[in-house]
Structure 1
Amino acid sequence: MRFERVCLGALSLLAVSPAWAADGGYSLLGDWPVKVVSESGIEAGLRGNWSYDYARFDDASFIDNDAWRRQELSAYVRKPGVFELALGYDFRNEVWLDNFVRISGAGGDLRIGQFKTPVGYEESAVGTAATTFMERAMPVTAFYAGRRLGVDWTYEKVPNWYFNLAVQAGGDLLGDNQGRTLGGRVVFNPIKDDTQILHLGLSASNEKRQDDTLRVQVRPEAFLTTRRLVDTGALNRVEGIGRLGLEAIWQRGPLLVQSEYLRIGIDRYGAPDYSADGYYLAASWVLTGEKRSYKSAAFGNLKPSRDWGAVELAARYSHIDLNDPGSAIGGRQSDWTFGANWYIGQHFKLQFNYVWADASRRGVDLDPEIAQLRAQIYF
């Protein structure tokens, strides 16, 4: 299989990395020279995330698959605290990533371009290279609004607070999602020290779409299948869309507990309004003792403290309810996901996820079990 060849290739590179370091060069498991810094403090660099996945289903109605999940590459030029210019593209999914100009000063950060809408912590705040599980939780992917063109303002100069307000209009760089979105996110850290962090967040947005149709659907937490087990079908006569997100995260040493509640409300003209919600609860434990970094109201990736890497175990329960009698019967679904991650140096990660989905829609019940593997290179 192609996945096996990818793993063998990655392990071959890892095998020669100590020799690289012994010759005085850069260690493959250490930091990589992906940026340059001028004497004036201006940085120019690259960011990347390349992930290859394999998924096996116990249900014959699903098809086992292996494929690239992401092929993301971004370039940036910045002077910290002054400005940043970023340009990024996902070659696998053929979508533009965050592309913007940001100006920083005493009044906060002003960003102009394409960037993520603010509702949904896992989507809006956490990069694809830093996710604990191979896929984000169902409610996040179902209700997330995607990237849009616009302007936003971020302010972090009040101790233990984070503020973000956005006005996005004109769709995205692919010409989709035409309309206007107003959104905001605020985070408070009642506890934030070297031993533990408590993160409490609230976000909301209001969207006015030019296209008056919306469809709410979601795959099980395995994106190598195209099947959606819960699905509202097309909701027509959509006038406005409201989204609400609540987030709570606690980290103490190698333990991290995380939860979100998300809700979507759709105002329709000449048809019943529609609403749906969902939530998840997740926990992870780093067996080797490391903890995740925390910056700008988001937790980052692990950096192993040992030559052979770091190991993390995780579990998550997520639930979504797309039934709104009188408007749409989209179904209900609950997923249990169990994961194990091996962080090999600062730029390699191997992930295993086992997902048990339990879905019911219009009298049809499905409960596929899915085993997934990922080989990831990120920088």
Structure 2
Amino acid sequence: MRGYKLFCIIFFFFISLFYSVNAYSEDIEESIKELQNRLMELEMKLNQMKQQQKEQALESRVLKMEKELSPFMKPNTFRVYWKDHLTFETPNKEFKLKIVGRIQNDWTWQSANQSFEDAFRKGFGDEKAFEDGTEFRRTWFGIDGAIYEKIIFHGEWDFTDGDTDFIDVYMGIKDVPYLGHIMIGHFWEPFSLEDMTPNIYITFMERSHVATAFAPDRNTGIKFYNTLLNDRIHWSFGVFRNTNSFGDSSNGKNSSTSDDGEYDITARITGLPWYEEDGRKLLHLGLAVSRRSPHEDQKRYSDRPPVHQTTTFVDTGTKDKNGLDVFYDKIYLLGTEAALVYGPLSIQSEWAIAMNDRTGKGKVNFTSDDDVDFTSWYIYASYFLTGEHREYNKSTGTFGGITPRDNFYDKKTGYGLGAWEAAIRYADIDLDDSGIKGGELDDITLGLNWYLNKNTRLMLNYVTADLDRKITYIDPDRAVQRRFKNGDYHAFMMRFQLFW
């Protein structure tokens, strides 16, 4: 009996020892994983510091050479160098000129179910809807610079469609005491994080519905902007006139894009409640508002999935479901924005509403309940498989470009991976309200980006969309009435992008 008890004691001792050792080994494995992750972070930070030191050393050598040569150089002599752009600059930095531009070539393969295609091809007569294709999405060229250091200018023109249109054409004054900066000309009104982020830096090939359907376009106006609290807060405020693609509010003798005496007011404020490691970890919050005066009291909202080479899916038109013309006195836009960057992980979201004050013109028994509200929102997440992070521009409250840890090719180090980013986005727009039947569209976009270097990117996007919209049409082939309610759409896209 004593031997049995001793056996039981020894048995339970070894069982306890086994579980203790096993638990201890699991703790060791977790500690090793934490140390490995921390080591990777430190390694990335070390590489970034080395790169910064190289750039600073190079800049220091250039400045030293300039200082040595300055007695022999005239004040208006330009030096030429490359730093993301081809740049000309005088030794005293009073005058600067940069050559800028971008080329984006897109390819699209798309399809929809049969009832979907019939509704748009036969109902709307859009025979080329859902066809595969290619296009140069953007071919922009321009200049950017400063005169006497404080006077800035920018001119960029679009040659995509075989003609020439204004993109951003403006002049301004920097560092005005007690005010900040002033910009005058043709440029984006300050609304929406995705809209204000340059298209060469956005995560997906196309922006979401918040930007494409609700955010104001480029218009001619004057804008004031500045930062506060060590650049943790950015604000901008502007007054604009609706203009055409050349920045004019008149299309001819008897045609205009703005009513006499009517102006649009748009403002945006953003903040960084959390900002660490030079932007590798941050939280961005923002709010934008706009008061708009629709031309001739009418406004038409329409949009497509985030595929530029497809047709319009949702459209309010200018009449309600009873066939009456819809007129708006004023339109108020409200947009909220949030973005989180935690190393290679990024999450971004926006929500916007267009509040349209409908007038009683053209409608009997009008009440305030006839006012029309449309909404849109999106959320997306992205992750850098190679460890980079989205870079933030504190002076504008937007995101900037990506600096790969290793370029695809470097003359000194040879070939590398570049930077790889995977992303997913869900977006929705609802244009149904108060007798307006524009439809509702929601879509999912999957994206893969390969950054060969700071100036070159290859993009792959897959889009699947679901449309809910009542469309009644006469089928010309069988002379019968048909009805469409909802359908599915799919597209695969590719873009090669180069900018400077």
Same fold, TM-score > 0.5, yes or no: yes
Give the deviation of 1:119 after TM superposition. 1.8
User: Which residue among 306, 309, 321 is the counterpart of 1:224?
Assistant: 309
Highest RCO, 1 vs 2 (Cα 8 Å, sep ≥ 6): 1
User: Which residue among 256, 261, 269 is the counterpart of 2:346?
Assistant: 256
Task: Please state which structure has a larger fraction of its residues in strand.
Answer: 1
Unmatched 5+ residue regions in structure 2? 1-81, 118-129, 250-255, 320-325, 364-369, 409-417, 471-483
Unmatched 5+ residue regions in structure 1? 1-29
- CA distance in 1: counterparts of 2:188 and 2:404, whole angstroms: 29
What is the aligned partner in structure 1 of residue 466 from structure 2? 358
What is the aligned partner in structure 2 of residue 329 from structure 1? 437
What is the aligned partner in structure 2 of residue 51 from structure 1? 104
Give the deviation of 1:210 after TM superposition. 3.3
The superposition leaves residues 292-311 of structure 1 with CA deviations (integer Å, 9 ceiling, x where unpaired) of: 22112111111112032111
The superposition leaves residues 106-161 of structure 1 with CA deviations (integer Å, 9 ceiling, x where unpaired) of: 431111111111222211x2001101000001232111220111111111133311
What is the aligned partner in structure 1 of residue 337 from structure 2? 247
Distance change (3 Å), C-alpha of 1:349 and 1:358:
same
- CA distance in 1: counterparts of 2:406 and 2:148, whole angstroms: 30
Distance change (3 Å), C-alpha of 1:253 and 1:349:
same
Give the deviation of 1:169 after TM superposition. 2.4
Runs of 4+ with deviation above 6 angstroms: none
What is the aligned partner in structure 2 of residue 35 from structure 1? 87
Distance change (3 Å), C-alpha of 1:69 and 1:375:
same
What is the aligned partner in structure 1 of residue 174 from structure 2? 104
What is the aligned partner in structure 2 of residue 320 from structure 1? 429
What is the aligned partner in structure 2 of residue 151 from structure 1? 222
Do 1:31 and 1:346's aligned partners in 2 also have CA atoms closer than 8 Å?
Answer: no
Give the letter for the 1:265 counterpart. M
Is 1:277 aligned to 2:362, yes or no? Answer: no
Aligned-partner SS, 2:407:
coil
- CA distance in 2: counterparts of 1:33 and 1:297, whole angstroms: 22
What is the aligned partner in structure 1 of residue 275 from structure 2? 192
The superposition leaves residues 147-201 of structure 1 with CA deviations (integer Å, 9 ceiling, x where unpaired) of: 1111111111333111111111263415464241111101111001214110000
Instruction: Report which stretch shifted further, 303-312 or 232-241.
Output: 232-241
Do 1:177 and 1:209's aligned partners in 2 also have CA atoms closer than 8 Å?
Answer: no
Greater gyration radius: 2
- CA distance in 2: counterparts of 1:141 and 1:259, whole angstroms: 15
Aligned-partner SS, 1:70:
strand
The superposition leaves residues 243-273 of structure 1 with CA deviations (integer Å, 9 ceiling, x where unpaired) of: 1100000111111100000110112221532
Aligned alpha-carbon RMSD (Å)? 1.8
Instruction: Report which stretch shifted further, 283-292 or 170-179.
Output: 170-179
Do 1:95 and 1:174's aligned partners in 2 also have CA atoms closer than 8 Å?
Answer: no
Give the deviation of 1:288 after TM superposition. 0.8
Instruction: Report which stretch shifted further, 171-180 or 157-166.
Output: 171-180
- CA distance in 1: counterparts of 2:99 and 2:463, whole angstroms: 33
- CA distance in 2: counterparts of 1:169 and 1:262, whole angstroms: 22
What is the aligned partner in structure 2 of residue 305 from structure 1? 405
Do 1:49 and 1:128's aligned partners in 2 also have CA atoms closer than 8 Å?
Answer: no
Distance change (3 Å), C-alpha of 1:126 and 1:32:
closer
Do 1:187 and 1:297's aligned partners in 2 also have CA atoms closer than 8 Å?
Answer: yes
- CA distance in 2: counterparts of 1:170 and 1:231, whole angstroms: 21
What is the aligned partner in structure 1 of residue 386 from structure 2? 288
Count matched residues: 347
Aligned-partner SS, 2:386:
coil
What is the aligned partner in structure 1 of residue 204 from structure 2? 133
Distance change (3 Å), C-alpha of 1:165 and 1:81:
farther
- CA distance in 2: counterparts of 1:128 and 1:100, whole angstroms: 18
- CA distance in 1: counterparts of 2:284 and 2:465, whole angstroms: 29
User: Which residue among 448, 454, 458 is the counterpart of 1:340?
Assistant: 448
Once the two structures are superposed, the pairs formed by residues 47-86 of structure 1 within 5 Å of their partners are 47-59=100-112, 61=117, 62-78=130-146, 82-86=150-154
Distance change (3 Å), C-alpha of 1:183 and 1:137:
same
Aligned-partner SS, 1:110:
strand
Distance change (3 Å), C-alpha of 1:340 and 1:280:
same
Give the letter for the 2:209 counterpart. M
Give the deviation of 1:100 after TM superposition. 1.0
Task: Please state which structure has a larger fraction of its residues in helix.
Answer: 2
- CA distance in 2: counterparts of 1:64 and 1:324, whole angstroms: 33
Do 1:221 and 1:355's aligned partners in 2 also have CA atoms closer than 8 Å?
Answer: yes
Aligned-partner SS, 2:200:
helix
Aligned-partner SS, 1:145:
coil
Give the deviation of 1:89 after TM superposition. 1.2
- CA distance in 1: counterparts of 2:424 and 2:450, whole angstroms: 15
Give the deviation of 1:96 after TM superposition. 1.1
- CA distance in 1: counterparts of 2:210 and 2:397, whole angstroms: 20
Quick one: percent identity of the two aligned structures? 29
Give the letter for the 2:104 counterpart. S
With normalisation by structure 2, the TM-score equals 0.67
Do 1:72 and 1:88's aligned partners in 2 also have CA atoms closer than 8 Å?
Answer: yes
Distance change (3 Å), C-alpha of 1:49 and 1:80:
farther
Give the deviation of 1:74 after TM superposition. 2.1
The superposition leaves residues 69-112 of structure 1 with CA deviations (integer Å, 9 ceiling, x where unpaired) of: 11112211226972311111111155311111111114311111
Instruction: Report which stretch shifted further, 61-70 or 197-206.
Output: 61-70
What is the aligned partner in structure 1 of residue 488 from structure 2? 367
- CA distance in 2: counterparts of 1:38 and 1:69, whole angstroms: 35
Once the two structures are superposed, the pairs formed by residues 155-234 of structure 1 within 5 Å of their partners are 155-159=226-230, 160-169=232-241, 171-172=243-244, 173-175=247-249, 177-178=257-258, 179-194=262-277, 195-225=280-310, 227-234=311-318
